[in-house]
Amino acid sequence: MAEVINLDRRRKQRREILLEAAGRLARCSGCQIRCARCGFRVEGDSLVLPELGIHLCEPCRAEYQAYLERLNGTTEPDFYWQSNDWMETWRSWLDHQRAVFNFRRSKEFQRLLSELVNL
């Protein structure tokens, strides 16, 4: 006979996995000791982007500032790798960070966090 699938257990396992993922998003996406861009430990001064709630280490801060200068048209690229593709990586990464920041502030995410607390 075919094995009977316990759907309740499977739903519970899936829910626990999704709750763990949400918990990691809550804990890790706003980490203040790691650079949000490269993940290295932030030593000393870091650039805080309050509009996104993230920290950048010194090398990533320099790259971000170069990105902003290029975006505003104030400078030409300082280095050969600061190409249009490089600009696109920064643009898409910042868009992703904005989406995560907005999701973390949503009422649905707040509800999810309250469910995590009550597990």
Q: Give the predicted TM-score (pTM) of the model.
A: 0.75
Distance CA 61, CA 68 (A): 10
**Burial class of residue 107, CB neighbours in 10 A (0-12, 13-18, 19+):** exposed
First to last CA, the chain: 36
Q: Which two tokens stand for residue 11?
A: 């739903």
Q: Give per-residue pLDDT as tens, 38-86.
A: 988 887 766 787 777 788 888 998 999 999 999 998 878 889 999 999 9
